[in-house]
Structure 1
Amino acid sequence: MADEPFSGESSITTATLQIAAAVIVDQHQRILLVRKRGSRWFMLAGGKLDAGETPEQALRREIREELGVQATDAELIGEATTVAANEADHRVHAHLFWTAIQGQAGAHAEIAEIRWVDCDEAVTLPLAPLLRSKVLAIVRSRLGLEPACA
Structure 2
Amino acid sequence: MTCKTIRIAAALLIGPDGRTLLVRKRGTQAFMQPGGKIEADEQPVHALARELEEELGLVIDTTAATYLGQFAAAAANEPGHQVVAELFRVHTDEPLEPAAEIEEVVWIDPAGDGGLILAPLTRDLILPFYRASRVPGA
User: TM-score, normalised to structure 1's length?
Assistant: 0.83
CA contact (8 A) 1:13 1:91 kept: no
| 1:102 Cα deviation from its structure 2 partner | 6.3
Moved >4 Å (runs of 4+): none
- Root-mean-square deviation over aligned CA pairs: 1.7
CA contact (8 A) 2:16 2:91 kept: no
CA deviation map 1:47-98 (0-9, x unaligned): 1001211111100000000000112321111111110011121001100100
Partner of 2:12: 23
Give, in whole Å, the separation in 2 of the partners of 1:64 and 1:13: 33
The reply to whether residue 40 of structure 1 matches residue 29 of structure 2 is yes
Would the alpha carbon gap of residues 120 and 100 (structure 1) be closer, same or farther in structure 2, given more than 3 Å must change?
closer
1:80-99 map, 5 Å:
80-99=71-90
Would the alpha carbon gap of residues 13 and 102 (structure 1) be closer, same or farther in structure 2, given more than 3 Å must change?
farther
1:32-71 map, 5 Å:
32-71=21-60
Secondary structure of 1:56's match?
A: helix
Percent pairwise identity: 41
Give, in whole Å, the separation in 2 of the partners of 1:32 and 1:87: 22
Letter in 1 for 2:20: I
Q: Structure 1: any 5+ residue segments left out of the alignment?
A: 1-11, 146-150
Letter in 2 for 1:85: A
Would the alpha carbon gap of residues 123 and 103 (structure 1) be closer, same or farther in structure 2, given more than 3 Å must change?
closer
CA contact (8 A) 1:81 1:130 kept: yes
